[in-house]
A and B are shown apart, each in its own frame.
Chain A
Amino acid sequence: MRKHLSVLMVIARSTIYKILAMFILLVCAERLLFHFSLNSALASADAGLGMANLEALISSSRIAWVFAVCFVAMAVLLSKTGCEYGSKQGYMLKRLSVSERNVFVWQSIYNSFCFFMLWSVQTLLAYAFCKLYLAKVDPMLTSGQTIFLAFYRNSFLHSLLPLSEVSRWIRNILLLGCLGLAAAHFPYRQRRGKVGVTIIAMTSLSLVFFSRAIGSLGNDILIMILSIANAAGVLDNTFRGSADEEAEA
């Protein structure tokens, strides 16, 4: 088990500091954007033009765009780990007592964890912005339900934290798992001189279909089916492929 954990540590050490730096940038950029939007909304309210509600403020602050950029950056960063750019790491991996298949599994788990962390940071940050909104806005314009309603009405917030919409939770969990697998599949294929396109497909799919309004069951089911199909393709390619390689060797 120690050998397996040391593989996981090597994978993590290759990216963890970059990912932490990215989280700091995400927090700073979104804080700035929300700050400007909130101040502008408060100025409008002071001028008697009315106060924007929380969900409108979240949309106008464009924090979803920052999240999208970080999401793509993370997909690129994780997919590059283990690729043979400047060094043929495959030569080392093939000489370990831990099989390359297990390396793939550990990398997938780590990748999914990183995507989960990105989701957690973004959700907490969005919640913190909501609390900030409540603290700054005239209490006459808000209620105890303001945050709760924003997470139902705003597509981005609702897709981050779908509350009681079970299909969206399942979709999100499947996306996390499949993105992890796809990001690990890219270097696995690259070490064999091939291109792993699943991560490109999954990243595009997530970007286009992530923010969806409450009740978009058809959309959720479509993403679930595509995620399962992609994950099955990746697993089949990796496990059957390495079994064939071992037989050939």
Chain B
Amino acid sequence: MIEIRNVSKSYAGKKALTGINLTLPQGEIVGLFGENGAGKTTLIKCILGLLPYSGEITLSGEPITRKNIERLSFATSEHSFFPNLTPQVHREFYKEHFPNFIDKRFKGLMDFFELPMRKPLRAFSTGQKNQFEVILSLCQGADYILMDEPFAGNDVFNREDFYKVLLGILEPNETVLLSTHLIEEVSGFIGRAVLIRQGRIVGDSSTMELEESGRNLMDYVKQTYHYRGDRVGNALNEIRGEEGQI
């Protein structure tokens, strides 16, 4: 279980995260939603220890250090692989550094997405790079797979394939924390939604609870963010009205 207790983070005096408390038990697929600059990426980077923060983040009761970092994997649209090297070299590198690397899964996913094994990654398209980034994170053998906008640049069919593959291959002990804007696309696939706004957790609900209350994920997000659907209509009426007067 990952436990995040009272985590705060500032960039040059500006608060990016404020008093975040969150628990991620094993075996869940959690969606992390929020507008741009809400703190999603910062939170994930704090969990991974890529950024210093105040507060406490533990993994099975232990602080996250080099000793247990292999239990976390990370996929980001910024990419974290070595662009001059091939997938085959990454495979060998990961096998050496991550003892639980799932080679069968790696080969299967590379075949499924028809990615070349011996071509340098810099020559891949953006979509292929994203696919490879996600494949690496899924095959590391980590208990917690943290994904930050992993499909930015992929087409809708490709994303659809990934959601299906993800649901099909995840083991019961594997947890996914998926940060994305594509709320409707992932609504049928996540088990829990965490909403973050201006560096604070403003909503945390399982999809089952939402179903029981007769709401869907989009309604829940809009409600939590106090989204006013009539805002656009009113603005348009105002603009048209002004134009009419001119």
Instruction: Give me the interface of A with B, judged by CB distance under 8 Å.
Output: 2-3, 6, 9-10, 13-15, 81, 85-92, 94-99, 245, 248-249
**Contact A97 to B89, CB < 8 A, known contacts A10-B82, A14-B84, A91-B74:** no
A102 to chain B, nearest CB (A): 11
Interface residues of B in 1-58 (CB under 8 A from A): 48-50, 52
Within the complex, which residue of A86, A89, A95, A99 is in contact with B74, where a contact is CB–CB below 8 Å? Answer: A95
B156 to chain A, nearest CB (A): 25
Within the complex, which residue of A6, A81, A91 is in contact with B96, where a contact is CB–CB below 8 Å? Answer: A6
Task: Judge if B215 is at the interface, Cβ distance under 8 Å.
Answer: no
> B80 to chain A: which residues have CB within 8 Å?
87-92
Task: Judge if B79 is at the interface, Cβ distance under 8 Å.
Answer: yes
Quick check: B52 and A95 within 8 Å, CB to CB?
Answer: no
How many Cβ-Cβ contacts under 8 Å join chain A to chain B?
71
B103 to chain A, nearest CB (A): 16
B97 to chain A, nearest CB (A): 5
Task: Judge if B201 is at the interface, Cβ distance under 8 Å.
Answer: no
> A249 to chain B: which residues have CB within 8 Å?
49, 52
Quick check: A99 and B66 within 8 Å, CB to CB?
Answer: yes
Task: Judge if B119 is at the interface, Cβ distance under 8 Å.
Answer: no
- Kindly report which residue of chain A lies nearest to residue B95, judged by CB atoms: A6
* Binary contact track B58-71/A, C-beta < 8 Å → 1, others 0: 00000000110110
6 A-B contacts (beta carbon < 8 Å):
A2-B96, A6-B96, A10-B85, A87-B78, A87-B121, A249-B49
Per the bound structure, the CA–CA distance linking A14 and B89 in Å amounts to 10
> B70 to chain A: which residues have CB within 8 Å?
95, 97
**Contact A88 to B93, CB < 8 A, known contacts A95-B72, A97-B66:** no
Task: Judge if B220 is at the interface, Cβ distance under 8 Å.
Answer: no
- Kindly report which residue of chain A lies nearest to residue B53, judged by CB atoms: A249
**Contact A14 to B82, CB < 8 A, known contacts A2-B96, A91-B50, A97-B97:** yes
> A97 to chain B: which residues have CB within 8 Å?
66-67, 69-70, 97
Per the bound structure, the CA–CA distance linking A90 and B50 in Å amounts to 9
Per the bound structure, the CA–CA distance linking A94 and B122 in Å amounts to 21
Quick check: B79 and A87 within 8 Å, CB to CB?
Answer: yes
Quick check: B79 and A88 within 8 Å, CB to CB?
Answer: yes
Per the bound structure, the CA–CA distance linking A102 and B125 in Å amounts to 32
**Contact A94 to B92, CB < 8 A, known contacts A87-B83, A89-B81, A89-B82:** no
Quick check: A10 and B74 within 8 Å, CB to CB?
Answer: no
Per the bound structure, the CA–CA distance linking A81 and B97 in Å amounts to 20
Instruction: Give me the interface of B with A, judged by CB distance under 8 Å.
Output: 48-50, 52, 66-67, 69-70, 72-74, 76, 78-85, 89, 92-93, 96-97, 121-122
**Contact A86 to B93, CB < 8 A, known contacts A13-B85, A92-B80:** no
> B74 to chain A: which residues have CB within 8 Å?
91, 95
Per the bound structure, the CA–CA distance linking A94 and B172 in Å amounts to 27
> A91 to chain B: which residues have CB within 8 Å?
48, 50, 74, 76, 78, 80
Most-contacted residue by chain B among A6, A15, A91 (CB, 10 A) = A91
Per the bound structure, the CA–CA distance linking A245 and B50 in Å amounts to 10
Per the bound structure, the CA–CA distance linking A86 and B49 in Å amounts to 22
Quick check: B78 and A96 within 8 Å, CB to CB?
Answer: no
Quick check: B81 and A92 within 8 Å, CB to CB?
Answer: yes
Within the complex, which residue of B69, B81, B84, B93 is in contact with A6, where a contact is CB–CB below 8 Å? Answer: B93
> A86 to chain B: which residues have CB within 8 Å?
79, 83, 122
> B97 to chain A: which residues have CB within 8 Å?
3, 6, 96-98
Quick check: A94 and B50 within 8 Å, CB to CB?
Answer: yes
Quick check: A88 and B76 within 8 Å, CB to CB?
Answer: yes
Most-contacted residue by chain A among B52, B80, B121 (CB, 10 A) = B80
B240 to chain A, nearest CB (A): 46
A175 to chain B, nearest CB (A): 27
> A10 to chain B: which residues have CB within 8 Å?
82, 85, 89, 93
Quick check: B50 and A14 within 8 Å, CB to CB?
Answer: no
Quick check: A88 and B78 within 8 Å, CB to CB?
Answer: yes
B94 to chain A, nearest CB (A): 10
Within the complex, which residue of B48, B81, B121 is in contact with A95, where a contact is CB–CB below 8 Å? Answer: B48
Within the complex, which residue of B49, B72, B82, B96 is in contact with A3, where a contact is CB–CB below 8 Å? Answer: B96
A249 to chain B, nearest CB (A): 5
Per the bound structure, the CA–CA distance linking A99 and B69 in Å amounts to 12
Known: A3-B97, A94-B48. 20 other contacts (CB 8 A): A2-B96, A6-B93, A9-B93, A13-B89, A15-B84, A86-B79, A87-B78, A87-B79, A87-B80, A88-B79, A88-B80, A89-B80, A89-B82, A90-B80, A91-B48, A92-B80, A92-B82, A97-B67, A97-B97, A249-B52
